Amino acid sequence: MLEKLQRALGLKTNPVIFFSSALLVLVFVVVSIAFTDQVDTVFRAASDWAITNLGWFYILGVTSFLVFLLWIAFSRYGHVRLGGKDSRPEYSNVSWFGMLFAAGIGTILMFWGVAEPVNHFANPPFSGAHDQVADAAESAGSSQEFAEQLREIPVGAGDTAPLSENAANEAIGFSLYHFGFHTWAIFALPALAFAYFAYKRGLPFRVSSIFHPLLGDRINGPIGKTIDIVAVIGTLFGVAVSIGLGTLQINSGLNQLFGFEIGATAQILIIAVVTTIATISVVTGLDKGIKWLSNINIWMAVGLLLVVLIAGSTVFLLRGVIESTGNYLSMLVPLSFWNDALPANDWGWQGSWTVFYWAWTITWAPFVGIFVARISKGRTVREFVMGVLGAPVVFSIIWFSIFGMSSINLEWSNPGSLVGPVVQEGDTAASLFAFLENFPAAEFLMALSVLIVVIFFTTSSDSASLVVDMLTSGNSVNPPVRQRVFWALLQGLVAATLIAATGEEALAALQQVITVIGLPFFLIAFVMMYSLVKALKRDTSDLELLPRRARAMLERERRERDKEAEVEPS
C-alpha cells in the first residue's frame, strides 16, 4: 500500500520510514495543539525525571565522546581514509569549514554570543545566590537598581559573587564549555561513524547503518527502520527548537529596526519567508545552495566580529581572547566531570543549562553528523576529527571571547545596560541588539546581524532537509528534489503551528520533548563507538594503518623488487 502511494506521488524513498516519520510528526503537532497542557505535563515530568536521575549520564556521556574521538584520531586508525585509497576531499578547507559552521551552531552562536556570558556574569553557576538574584530581578525598579542589588548580594565562602571578576572569567569559561569541544564532539562522533560506514562499507546514510557490525543485514528490517524513524523525528524536533530561537531573534531585531510587532503572527510570517528561502536553496542543490550561502555568511559573521573588535576596546579584547582561552582550558577538565552534586540531592543550575544543552544538541547529531559526513569524503580519520573539533572550536573561542568580554566590559562601564534586558527582563532574544546599540552605525550592524541569522537559519533548514531525506530514502544519496522540499516545508510547518497554537509556551514544551528524546540518542552514541572500532578492526589491513610515508616507502620497495624480478635472467 505504501509503495503504491509512493509511486503515485512520484517519490523515491523508503516508504515505511518516510510516511511513518511524517505521520508521527504531524500527529504530535495536532495532539500538542489539541491537548497542550496534558502533553506539556507528561513531557515536563519525563524531562524532570531524566535531568534529576540521569543528568550525570549526560555529562559523562559527552565527555566520553570527546575522549574517544581524540583517542581514535591519534591511534593507528587515524591514517584510515574515508573512501578509497585514492580518495581526496571534494571541498577546500575554507568551504568545508564554512559548511561545518553554518550547518552546526552558527545560529546558536549568534543567539547566545552575548546572552549566555551576560547570564552567567549576573548569576554565576558557582554561586549559592541564585534565589537572591531572582528576588532582585523582581524587586528592582530599574536596570541600574538591579545591577546595584546584584553587587550587594552576600555570598558564602568559595562562592562566586555576581558581577565580579571571577564571575566574568567563569562566564566565558562556561560559555565555551557549552559551545566548544564537547558540543562538536557530539557532532563529530556520528559524523565519523556515518562517513566510515557509507564510504568504506557502501552502506546508506542512515542511523541504522552504524548498527551493521551488530545487526548485519537486519538493519534493513523492522529494527533498523524503527531506529531511522526515531532519528528523523529527533532531528525535526531539534531543528524546530533552533528555528524557534532564530525566529525570536529575527523578530526582536526587526522590532528594534522597524518597530516590527513581536508576537505569534509576526513570527509565523518570519518562518514562512525564511522557509521559502530555504526551499529555494534546497532546489538549487548542495554545491550551489548551501555552499554558496555558507561561504557568504561565514565572511559576514567574521566581518561583524571584526567590527566589534575594532570599534570596541581592541587591546582589552585581544588580551581577553588569550586569557579566555586559558580560562577555558583550565576549566575544561573539571567542568567535563562536574555534576553539581553538592549540596547533596539538590540538582540545581546544571540541570537547566548543561544537561539541557547536551540533550538538545544530541538530537541534532543525526542531522549535523550525516551532513558533515556527506561533505567529508576523502579525508583521513585524523584529518576529519581534528578538522571538526579544531576549526569550529577555535572560531567559537574567538567569538565568545570577543562578544562575551565586550559585553561584560560594557556592563562594567554602564551598569544595567545588559543584565537588565537579558537577566532581569529575561529577553534573551534581544541581547545581541541591546549590545549592538552601543556601537557606531548601530542600525546597520543590527540589520547585518538579522541577515546573518536569516542565512544561518536558511542553511540549517536546508541542511536538515537534505539529511532527513537521506535518512528516509534508503540507498539514494541524491533523492528527488521534491522530497527535500517536503521536509523543508514540514520543518517550517511544525515551528509555525506550535507558535500559533501556544506562543512561547510551545517552544518551552518542545524543549521538554527533546530533552526526553535525547536520551535514546545517547545510548545510540555508545553503540556508535563500539561499532566503529569493531568495523575498523575487521575492515582495515595492516598496510592501510601505516602512515602515508611508510606506505609510500613500502610501495616503492615493492615496485623495485618487481623490476628486479623482471630483468633477472631465467
* DSSP code string of 381-440: HHHHHHHHHHHHHHHHHHHHHHHHHHHHHHHHHSTTTTHIIIIIS--GGGHHHHHHTTST
Mean pLDDT taken over the chain:
83
- Residue 543 pLDDT grade (very low, low, confident, very high; cuts 50, 70, 90): very low
Is 475 strand, coil or helix? coil
What is the mean predicted confidence (pLDDT) over 264-273?
A: 86
Q: Which three cell numbers stand for residue 436?
A: 549592538
Domain 2-124+162-540: which topology?
Amino acid/polyamine transporter I (1.20.1740)
Q: What is the pLDDT of residue 49?
A: 85
Q: What is the pLDDT of residue 236?
A: 83
Least confident of 26-40, 208-222, 246-260: 26-40
- Residue 69 pLDDT grade (very low, low, confident, very high; cuts 50, 70, 90): very high
What is the mean predicted confidence (pLDDT) over 393-419?
A: 92
Q: What is the pLDDT of residue 307?
A: 94
- Burial grade of 169 (CB within 10 A; 0-12, 13-18, 19 or more): buried
Q: Which three cell numbers stand for residue 50?
A: 531524566
Q: What percent of the chain shows pLDDT beyond 70?
A: 87
Which residue type is seen at 140? A
What is the mean predicted confidence (pLDDT) over 32-59?
A: 81
- The terminus-to-terminus CA distance of the chain in angstroms comes to 70
* φ and ψ of 187, to 5 deg: -80, -40
Query: What DSSP assignment string belongs to 286-331?
Result: IIIIIHHHHHHHHHHHHHHHHHHHHHS-HHHHHHHHHHHHHHHHHH
Helix axes 165-179, 354-374, angle to 10 degrees: 40
What is the mean predicted confidence (pLDDT) over 258-265?
A: 83
- Residue 255 pLDDT grade (very low, low, confident, very high; cuts 50, 70, 90): confident
Q: The pTM is what? A: 0.85
Q: Which is more confidently placed, 499 or 311?
A: 311
Residue 172 has pLDDT above 80, yes or no: yes
Least confident of 69-73, 130-134, 190-194: 130-134
* φ and ψ of 32, to 5 deg: -65, -40
Is 477 strand, coil or helix? coil
Whole-angstrom distance, CA of residue 170 vs CA of residue 422: 18
Report the residue count for the chain.
570
Residue 304 has pLDDT above 90, yes or no: yes
Query: What DSSP assignment string belongs to 103-129?
Result: HTTHHHHHHHHHHHHHHHHHS-TT-S-
Q: What is the pLDDT of residue 39?
A: 73
- Residue 345 pLDDT grade (very low, low, confident, very high; cuts 50, 70, 90): very low
Least confident of 215-224, 411-420, 541-550: 541-550
- Residue 74 pLDDT grade (very low, low, confident, very high; cuts 50, 70, 90): very high
CA-closest candidate to residue 352, choices 110, 32, 50 = 50
Q: What is the pLDDT of residue 283?
A: 74
DSSP 8-state code for residue 69: H
CA-closest candidate to residue 142, choices 425, 527, 534 = 425
Q: Which is more confidently placed, 416 or 284?
A: 416
- Please give the angle made by the CA atoms of 328, 330 and 334, to the nearest 5 degrees: 100
Q: Which is more confidently placed, 530 or 37?
A: 530
Residue 503 has pLDDT above 60, yes or no: no
Q: What is the pLDDT of residue 392?
A: 85
Least confident of 152-156, 281-285, 348-352: 281-285
Residue 344 has pLDDT above 50, yes or no: no
Q: What is the pLDDT of residue 201?
A: 87
> Taking a C-beta distance cutoff of 8 angstroms, is the pair 553, 232 a contact?
no
Each domain of the chain, given as residue ranges in start order, spans: 2-124+162-540
Q: Which three cell numbers stand for residue 31?
A: 495532539
